[in-house]
Amino acid sequence: MKNRAITVSGTILLTIAVVALVGPWLSPHDYVSTDFDRVLLAPTIADAHLFGTDELGRDLFVRTMLGIRVTLLVALVASFVSLVIGVAYGAIAGFVGGRVDAVMMRFVDTLYALPFIFFVILLMVAFERNFLLIFVAIGAVNWLDMARIVRGQTLSLREREFVEAARLTGVRNRRIIFRHIAPNLIGIVVVYVTLTIPQAILVESFLSFLGLGIQEPQTSLGALVDAGVNLMEGASWALLFPAGLLALILMCFNFFGDGLRDFFDARQAN
Amino acid sequence: MSLLDVKDLSVRYDGATVVDAFSFVVDAGESVGLVGESGSGKSQTALAILGLLPRQASVSGSIRFDGSELLSATEQSLNRVRAERIGIVFQDPLQALNPYLRVGRQLREILVRHELASGMDADARAIHMLGRVGLPDPHRQFHAYPHQLSGGMRQRVMLASALIAEPDLLIADEPTTALDVTVQAQILELLEEVRDDTALLLITHDLAVVAGHCERMLVLKKGRLVDAGATTSLFASPGHAHTRVLLDAAPRIDRVDIPPPATGVSILGVEAAEVSYAESGNERLRAVRDVSFSLRAGETVAVVGESGSGKSSLVRAMLGLVPMQAGRVVYAGAPMEGPVESRNMAQRRDLQLVFQDPIGALNPQMRVQDIVGESLLVHEPELSAVARKAKVVEALEQVGLSDEYLGRYPHQLSGGQAQRVAIARALILGPKVLICDEAVAALDGSVREQVLELLRKVQIETGLSILFITHDLAVVRAISHRVLVMYMGRMVEFANNATLFATPRHPYTRALIDAVPVPDPVAPSRKAPLMGEVPSVLHPPPGCVFHPRCQYAEEICRTRRPMARDIQGARVVCHRAEELDL
Amino acid sequence: MLRYTLLRVLGAIPTLLLVIALAFLMVHAAPGGPFDDERVLPADVEANIAHAYHLDEPLPKQFVRYLSGLLQGDLGPSYRYRDYTVSELIGNSFPLSLQLGALAMALAVVVGVSAGTVAALRQDSYLDRLVMACSMTGISVPVFVFAPVLVLLFAVKLQWLPAGWSSASGGARLVLPVITLALPQVAYIARLTRASMIDVLGRDFIRTARAQGLGTLTVVRLHALKPAMLPVLSYMGPAVAAILTGSVVVEEIFGIPGLGQFFVRGALNRDYTLVLGIVVFYATLIVLLNLVVDILYGVIDPRVRYR
């Protein structure tokens, strides 16, 4: 039954991504041009303003599509960053074990305790709103969970008999890591990546809300929602479309991750 | 009217039928054994009686207890029955007890929640029950947490909780399978003592247990009842072929087709080995002390002992997986020492290890072909892929697996097949010594026989030496030439197979042999030979470590450590070895 | 138990030191100074100001100075709000944030645990699906979307609750901010509780309890609740951190003069002592909280405290 969660949410996400990529080409508008004659129009088919316009007369459909692209890009890259850091950190801690592991995990526990978002804000403010920095900042916040999970899994894998058997025969550490431990980590890593993506999206949205995220005229879903909140009373569509899509994307990632987790759990139980 | 009357009980999961139209009765006060291999539906039946099957199960048929139908009962009346009329003991007491609650609390709550007693009265009854099931210090154990008790004590607690409300029927689902054999004997004896006129439905795969404790017996095969009757009759002349199969496969320690003493030259020697681990707070856990033995070419030596005996630690130290604090290991004339990574290739090639858990010993992401062939990459890297594959096929053939298994993954193998793959992996390098760490413990009766037979065959064909670690004396009897008995890290006796079983020289060996249930219903029932449990390995008793439990202990045993001495070909570590006639 | 507690307390101290050091480094590593925004000053005036604030000393020395100040409860002066010290600013605004956060936390735990438990007990029923759907929404919609929507609905359209923050509204003004702040945590805790409870209910010792004829409520209360709460307990640390984060948004939207607002302002104004002070303050809180959580964990799970 859970497989349905994977296929349905996967399909929706794919559709959204495709529309976001292709959509703007099909529209006569771009995301930058202002048009003060057509400010705050409700969605209409005429003039091809499918999502209406914002307070500067810019077409919201194209801007929303752009926003989706940016949001997804940020989320995927940031998650990738946290994946790389988290897996490397966790695998090393778990594999080496002993003192090194204890120290490394103490460090993670320390960071876990912090309202890390505060550091992110500091970073963003201090170093100006660098696009690249956003990725790094978000990745830096999210890698902790991944590191913990990977370390736990690596530790238990290390004790498994097939790893001991390989050690006994004389298989080199390198091969043990790549052939024995890594393939057995993939399942859990994949699950957690799909669950960290929503977190990354939320962090990015939060930064945009504070005005620290993507800079105008570029936009992300978070920035659009922030802008939409201000226009809420008169032009509710400016909030509804981006907020609705944002929520949909987040839900799909969550369902997808949940479904994957159930799938891998069932396989383990076998 | 029978106490329990089951008619056409069927349990199904999503298409698979695990119990198929099973009908039987249990009368008041009698003891009935329910036997079958794993997967035959025995536990499912027990759970069905109590209404404890998972949601996915669909149950049909009729289960009448004392006249009333259980399958259609309300949750409330079912709870009444569960509390006061039927008690159950499960297999694994560590999992079956709540680790977060004190033992006494778990007991008294049963009484309190069902208004059978309250307050101090409930506590008193709980403590009394703990004493009845043989706990040495009921007041203290009342306040203990489950993980602070040993396996045997936990099972006694489970028994106490099942019997505290004085039920009419006690169901015991593999109650002793997870326990040491001497503790098993104690628990089975306790079961007899303490049940009074409570009826007993004893579920087990071990026919010997049924032989000693059940008047009647039911045989299940794949969910179906294939045989039923009085235990003595069924043992003498089984009605169904499957019963015959089970009887034949039942492990016996009195079999006569045992390997004769080996005559080869000694290739592996261990002298005064000592292995200890550092525990927190400066205490050292001495897992192995002063153990010496030898292994000849083409011979099988069984290392036998219960939990805490140090047998696994000994072998791990020999292989270099854990450090050895003292003593020597000599292989092919040269000393073998240091951590496994530092040993030379020849040694690592010649000594191979097979583990207890067949599926866990194989990488779930690798195919059989790669698993078996991996060691070739290390020891014979010059081989081409084609040549490697040929060797893998050869190794699989040796263990009786065709090449259709090459592309399979571990989760597609049965326990027996997986163990064969593990053995193929070990044998592909042509080792001289094969170390088996409880290699057949996780396997069912007939499969176990097959794997042991395989090992025997390989040994005869190639002159392989085998060091077999086990807690199971029947396995020892079946395959070993010589036997090393260990207790609390010390060696206790080292003798030929025939000699050890016929004339054991150490009281512990005698007790161990006597504790094994005999699959013969007409044999006189024996008292459990050994009382108490293995003391904590952190604080071993002074003098001879066995003396607190030894019925022959004297003053010298309490103060001085015995030295090894040879008596008629057996090496025994006991002060009174010469004078005792066991 | 005592030994366990003592070990935990001792372990918390280096953690705290590390956190403070980290924050200190980051604040001082960021380019730009607290006075950049103002008029460009002549070099010697700038040097004087720098000296007055000890900014010209080597970093380690500044750190030690900061630490010793900390031990006396002195977090330094605010660069921006010249008349106040950081301690004063924190002292003025924290009680409000505390009220908000504590109420939100309490609400989140009570509602989340109850919802999760009920969902677990009625697995796969409509109630379960409903709870899961709601919690999925709760974690998928950002706080700054919920807040204005709720304000629009309850304050503007229905006029049940006040929209802004004025002392006139009394207790009612807390309702919307607290609910908004609590929502994502309610959702997450509900999911966590449900998963944990389902896992515990599947364990062998629950089967034993049922075999002893104990009713469902008894089984849950006596046997299942404590172990099921362990993951929720472990989550309390991150939960508080999340509430702190959320409070920044909520305070901004509702115009509440709490600590979160000061943090953002401080960051934007490059008022580094203020920012550092708030980070240190919050971090200390969280470390202390984690300590309490660890100790409670030992109370619930005896295997952790007895070897």
Neighbors of chain B with 3 or more C-beta pairs under 8 Å: A, C
Sheet holding B68-69, edge to edge: B16-26, B4-13, B57-65, B68-69
Whether B100 and C227 lie within 8 Å, measured CB to CB? yes
pLDDT in tens, B59-102: 999 999 998 899 988 988 999 899 889 999 998 888 899 999 99
- Picking from C32, C136, C249, the nearest residue to A254 by CB comes out as C136
Q: Most C CBs within 10 Å: which of A109, A124, A125, A138, as the mutation test of the C interface?
A: A125
Q: Is A180 in contact with B411 (Cβ distance < 8 A)?
A: no
Q: Please, which pLDDT band fits residue C205 given cuts at 50, 70 and 90? A: very high
Q: From chain A, pick out residues whose CB is under 8 angstroms from the CB of B321.
A: 164, 167-168
pLDDT tens for residues B148-162? Answer: 888 889 999 999 999
**What pLDDT was estimated at residue B351?**
92
In chain B, which residues have their Cβ closer than 8 Å to the Cβ of A180? 363, 366
Dihedral of the CA atoms B402, B405, B406, B411 (nearest 10)?
A: -160
Calpha distance C130→C90 (Å, rounded): 41
CA B236 to chain CA centroid, Å, is: 27
Weakest mean pLDDT among A116-125, A190-199, B283-292, C291-300:
A116-125
Q: In this structure, what are the phi and psi dihedrals at residue B466, rounded to the nearest 5 degrees?
A: -125, 135
State yes or no: pLDDT of A213 exceeds 80. no
**According to the per-residue pLDDT averaged within each range, which of A37-41, A165-169, C100-104 is highest?**
C100-104
Contact B365 A184 (CB under 8 A): yes
Cα–Cα distance for residue pair B59/B38, rounded to 1 Å: 20
pLDDT at C7: 77
Instruction: State the DSSP string of B517-579.
Output: PPS-TTSPP---S--S-PPPTTSPPSSSTTGGG-TT--HHHHHSPPPPEEETTEEE--TTTTT
Q: Show residues of chain B in contact with C300, CB under 8 Å.
A: 100
Residue C43 pLDDT > 80, yes or no? no
User: If you write DSSP's letter for every residue of B411-476 in order, what string do you get?
Assistant: GGS-HHHHHHHHHHHHHTT--SEEEEESTTTTS-HHHHHHHHHHHHHHHHHH--EEEEEES-HHHH
- Which of C123, C124, C205 to mutate: most B Cβ within 10 Å? C205
C-beta separation of B466 from B440 below 8 A: no
Q: How confident is the model at residue C305 (pLDDT cuts 50, 70, 90)?
A: low
H or E stretch at B25:
strand B16-26
- Number of A/C CB contacts below 8 angstroms equals 119
Res A208 pLDDT > 50? yes
**Nearest-CA distance B73 → chain A (Å):** 31
Q: What are phi and psi of B560, to 5 degrees?
A: -115, 140
**Range B456-481 average pLDDT:** 92
User: Which structure tokens are listed for C250?
Assistant: 């909520």
Angle, alpha carbons C41-C42-C43 (nearest 5°): 110
**Is the pLDDT confidence value at C173 over 70?**
yes
Q: Which residue of C has its CA nearest to A105?
A: C15
- β-partners of residue B253 are none
pLDDT of C37 strictly over 60: no
The strand pair at B433-437 and B351-354 is best described as parallel
Mean pLDDT of chain B: 89
Chain B nearest CA to C68, separation (Å): 36
Residues sharing a CB contact under 8 Å with residue B386, sequence separation 6 or more, in sequence order: none
Q: Which amino acid appears at position B186 of this protein?
A: Q
Task: Say whether pLDDT at B279 is over 80.
Answer: no
- Confidence at A138, pLDDT banded by 50, 70, 90: confident
Query: Residue B144 above 80 pLDDT?
Result: yes
Tell me the C-alpha distance between C246 and C186, whole Å: 13
In Å, what is the CA distance from B285 to each residue of B180, B271, B289, B538? Answer: 21, 20, 11, 5
**Is the distance from CB of B44 to CB of B11 less than 8 angstroms?**
yes
Confidence of residue C69 (pLDDT cuts 50, 70, 90): confident
> Quick check: B280 pLDDT over 70?
no
Angle among Cα B220, B222, B225 to the nearest 5 degrees reads 30
Cross-strand pairs, B293: B270
What ipTM was assigned to the predicted interfaces of this complex? 0.82
Q: Which residues of C touch B92 (CB under 8 A)?
A: 204
A76 vs A38 pLDDT, higher one: A76
**Nearest C-alpha neighbor of B477 from the set B500, B510, B460, B455:** B500
The reply to whether C248 touches chain A by the CB within 8 Å rule is: yes
Q: Which chains touch A (3 or more CB pairs under 8 A)?
A: B, C
Instruction: Supply angle C-alpha C6, C9, C10, rounded to 5.
Output: 85
Which run of H or of E encompasses B399?
none
B180 token code pair:
């040491």
What whole-number distance in Å separates Cα of residue B20 and Cα of residue B222? 8
pLDDT tens figures, C240-286:
888 888 888 888 888 888 888 888 887 777 777 788 888 888 888 88
**Secondary structure class of A256 (helix, strand, coil):** helix
**pLDDT value of position A103:** 83
* Least confident stretch, A56-70, A255-269, B219-233: A255-269
Please indicate whether, in this complex, the C-beta atoms of C213 and B98 are within 8 angstroms of each other. no
Q: Pick the residue with more confidence: B247 or C55?
A: B247
* pLDDT for the residue numbered A184: 86
Interface contact flag, A168 B353, Cβ < 8 Å: yes
Chain C residue with Cα closest to A204: C142
Whose structure tokens read 């805790």? Answer: C189
Given a contact cutoff of 8 angstroms between Cβ atoms, the answer to whether B309 and B486 are in contact is: yes
What integer pLDDT is reported at residue C41 of this predicted model?
Answer: 64
| Residue whose C-alpha is closest to residue C266's, from C30, C55, C50 | C30
- B499-544 pLDDT, tens digit per residue, is 999 999 999 999 999 888 888 888 777 777 888 888 888 888 999 9
Q: Tens of pLDDT along A7-36?
A: 888 899 899 888 888 887 777 777 777 777
Q: Which class for A32: exposed (0-12), middle (13-18), buried (19 or more C-beta within 10 A)?
A: middle
Q: Read off the pLDDT of each residue in B264-280 and give the average, rounded to a whole number.
A: 86
Instruction: Measure C286 CA to nearest chain A CA, in Å.
Output: 6
Distance from CA of C235 to the nearest CA of B (A): 20
Q: Considering only CB atoms, which chain B residues are within 8 Å of C214? A: 79, 83, 109-110, 113
State how far the Cα of C124 lies from the Cα of B508, in Å rounded to an integer. 55
In chain A, what's the furthest Cα-to-Cα distance?
78
Residue with the bigger pLDDT between C61 and B327: it is B327
**End-to-end Cα distance, chain C:** 11
Which amino acid is residue C228, in one-letter code?
Answer: A
CA distance C109 to chain B (A): 22
According to the model, what pLDDT value does residue C307 have? 47
Q: Looking at per-residue confidence, does B222 or C25 come out higher?
A: B222
Q: Are A61 and A28 spatial neighbours (Cβ–Cβ below 8 Å)?
A: no
Of A85, B500, A119, the residue nearest C21 (C-alpha): A119
**C39: confidence class by pLDDT, cuts 50, 70, 90:** low
Q: Do B97 and C208 touch (CB under 8 A)?
A: yes
Distance CA B157, CA C189 (A): 36
Q: What is the pLDDT of residues B400-415, one digit of tens each?
A: 899 899 999 998 888 8
Interface membership of B380 toward A (CB under 8 Å): no
pLDDT at residue C282 in the model: 83
Is the separation of the CB atoms in B244 and B238 below 8 Å?
Answer: yes
Q: Name the pLDDT band for C51 (thresholds 50, 70, 90).
A: confident
Q: Do A118 and C145 touch (CB under 8 A)?
A: no
Closest CA in chain B for residue C216: B75
Mean pLDDT of A204-209: 81
Mean pLDDT of chain C: 81
Q: What is the pLDDT of residue A113?
A: 66
Check whether the bond before B99 is cis (ω within 30° of 0): no
Per-residue CA distances from A126 to A210, B92, B109, B542, C59 (Å):
14, 59, 61, 69, 18
The residue in chain C having the minimum alpha-carbon distance to the alpha carbon of residue B49 is C211
One DSSP character per residue, B476-501 reads HHHH-SEEEEEETTEEEEEEEHHHHH
Alpha carbon of B327: minimum distance to chain C alpha carbons (Å): 31
Alpha-helical regions (H) of A27-160: 60-96, 98-113, 116-126, 131-159
- For chain A, helix (H) and strand (E) counts, in that order, are 10, 0
Strand partners, B230: B216
Global pTM reads: 0.83
Chain A partners within 8 Å of C141 (Cβ): 243, 246-247, 250
Of all residues in chain C, the one with the smallest CA distance to A233 is C152
How far is the first Cα of chain B from the last one, in angstroms, to the nearest whole number? 48
Name the B residues in 391-430 with CB < 8 Å from any A CB.
411, 422, 425, 429
Task: Please compute, for residue A52, the number of CA atoms within 13 A of its CA located in the half-sphere on the CB side.
Answer: 18
Comparing alpha-carbon positions, the chain B residue that sits nearest to A172 is B378
Instruction: Work out the end-to-end distance of chain A between its first and last CA atoms, rounded to an integer number of angstroms.
Output: 17
Q: What is the pLDDT of residue B56?
A: 86
Which residue in chain C is spatially nearest to B51 when comparing CA positions?
C211
Q: Do B364 and B410 contact (CB within 8 A), yes or no?
A: yes
User: Which of B348, B362, B364 faces A169 most closely, judged by CB atoms?
Assistant: B348
